[in-house]
Amino acid sequence: MPPSAVARLTDFRTGASVATDDLSAVSDALSPHSRSHPLADPLAPPADSPLWRKSFLLGAATASYQIEGAVNEDGRLPCIWDTFSATPGKVLAGDTGAVACDHYHRWEADIDMLMGLGLEGYRLSIAWPRVMDEAGQPNRKGLDFYRRLLARLKEKGITTFVTLYHWDLPQHLEDRGGWLNRDTAYRFADYADLMSRELAGSVDAWATLNEPWCSAYLGYGNGHHAPGLANPRFATQAMHHLLLAHGLAVPALRANDPASQKGIVANVGRGTANSERAADQRAAHLFEVQHNAWILDPLLKGAYPGDLLELWPGTEPLVLEGDLRTISAPLDFLGINYYFRTNVESDGAHGFREVPPEGVERTQMGWEVYPDGLRDLLTGFKAAYRNLPPIYITENGMASDDTVIGGHVDDTQRISFLRRHLAAVDQAIQAGVDVRGYFLWSLMDNFEWAFGYERRFGIVHVDYATQKRTIKRSAEWVSAFLKERKARS
């Protein structure tokens, strides 16, 4: 961000950060100037941007295993991430989600924090092992937790996007084969049926799965995520069963909670070629095939991309008659998670290898900051899929090595990141893409999977030793933007 932009941000954000013990004062703690002065940064949306409209939903996202903790309380069963993170060498520093952000006990204060920031939407996930026992019967204590949480959100007027599966598969199902076992797809449909019956009327939008690419490839293809298996053949079969689970769940969601929206969330990646050579251009295409079309083609075209087997020959999954019709049932929305691009070249055979560009801005994760990739993917999807449903950006954000200094967290890189990515969304909308909302990842720092607690994605800082929450400058900017938008409407 240019020095002049940083100066403007600092000028209207001079109020003290707010900790958990004073959450009712979150809104008041933002500087008076930030509550009344128009956002004058050149990266802010133009005056006529759809992002200023109240109908464009702005919120934040979390996931159950990453924030809840309380893994052994009130009948919750073990999940694959409990097992994986307890395995030496799998997670950085040996971290686990056993306590995480202790959200299970602090949820009321966390919702007050969400409200204090003025966020309009909240995307959360349900922990499957918290709400069902091994026989598939409901666990009332676990269900009551989500019932109370959603009732509070509804009371406060927060739009709720609820994800059924954000990677915490019950361990007893993994012991029977997990997503390699077709039966898991039917057990997921049972779970979706139960949740949509129990929580009908409390949820504005249901997402069946979060990022099936990560579940299939990182969990079963290269072993970097739970359950830690590494075989391309496993990845393609796991993906098919994940997508089948989605397709089987949608009719139950529609029958039990007809007023809600139904969709799925995919993480997508922009692939760029390292040169104009045909082989490198082909490599970039293949990157996007395995990262995007692998999921979106069966959902929106009813077929897997043929190019996928060029990358992983001999890995074709077992697909039964009617599966792809089930998978490709119409969606009310498509959730898109975007973080970075991958620059590639041909590997000299039938695939690609990454060529990281030099001299580019990167996040704590080492990911390149590349807002144009989000715009390019959105416009590309509109061109590729004639039945593309309305889109919500269900995750977008960055990790930084944030520390609290004098009661403040000055995460100016994140503010710049968010401004530029919102600008990319604005450009996509102006190009005709139907994008209806944007959820920051994430509301607060949390358990970042295989990276444990080192990588901080939140707009709220969490001191894991004390569970103290501290509002970051980025959260103040989000709040100021929403207040200014409300004043304009």
User: Which residues are identified as catalytic?
Assistant: 211, 395
Chain mean position to CA 106 = 21
State how far the Cα of 352 lies from the Cα of 23, in Å rounded to an integer.
Answer: 49
Crossing angle of helices 412-430 and 473-488, rounded to 10°: 40
**Is residue 343 within 8 Å of 356, Cβ to Cβ?**
yes
Question: Any binding-site annotation on 179?
Answer: no
Give the C-alpha distances (Å, rounded to integers) separating 59 from 137, 381, 442, 478.
33, 23, 9, 9
Question: Any binding-site annotation on 165?
Answer: no
Backbone angles phi and psi of 427, in degrees to 5: -65, -40
Question: Any binding-site annotation on 430?
Answer: no
Q: What is the 3-state secondary structure (H, E, C) of the chain?
A: CCHHHHHHHHHCCCCCCCCHHHHHHHHHHCCHHHHHCCCCCCCCCCCCCHHHCCCCEEEEECCHHHHCCCCCCCCCCCEHHHHHHCCCCCCHHHCCCCCCCCHHHHHHHHHHHHHHCCCCEEEEECCHHHHECCCCCECHHHHHHHHHHHHHHHHCCCEEEEEEECCCCEHHHHCCCHHHCCHHHHHHHHHHHHHHHHCCCCCCEEEEEECHHHHHHHHHHCCCCCCCCCCHHHHHHHHHHHHHHHHHHHHHHHHHCCCCEEEEEEEEEEEEECCCCHHHHHHHHHHHHHHHHHHHHHHHCCCCCCCHHHHCCCCCCCCCCCHHHHHCCCCCEEEEEEEEEEEEEECCCCCEEECCCCCCCECCCCCECCHHHHHHHHHHHHHHCCCCCCEEEEEECCCECCCCECCECCCHHHHHHHHHHHHHHHHHHHCCCCEEEEEEECCCCCCCHHHCCCCECCCEEEECCCCEEEECHHHHHHHHHHHHHHHHC
Question: Any binding-site annotation on 441?
Answer: yes
Question: Any binding-site annotation on 166?
Answer: yes
Which are the contacts of 172, defined by CB distance < 8 A and separation ≥ 6? 77, 78, 134
Question: Any binding-site annotation on 225?
Answer: no
Backbone angles phi and psi of 209, in degrees to 5: -125, 150
Give the C-alpha distances (Å, rounded to integers) separating 308 from 15, 98, 293, 302.
52, 37, 9, 15
Question: Any binding-site annotation on 448?
Answer: yes
What residues are designated binding site? 66, 166, 210, 339, 441, 448-449
What residues are designated binding site for substrate? 66, 166, 210, 339, 441, 448-449
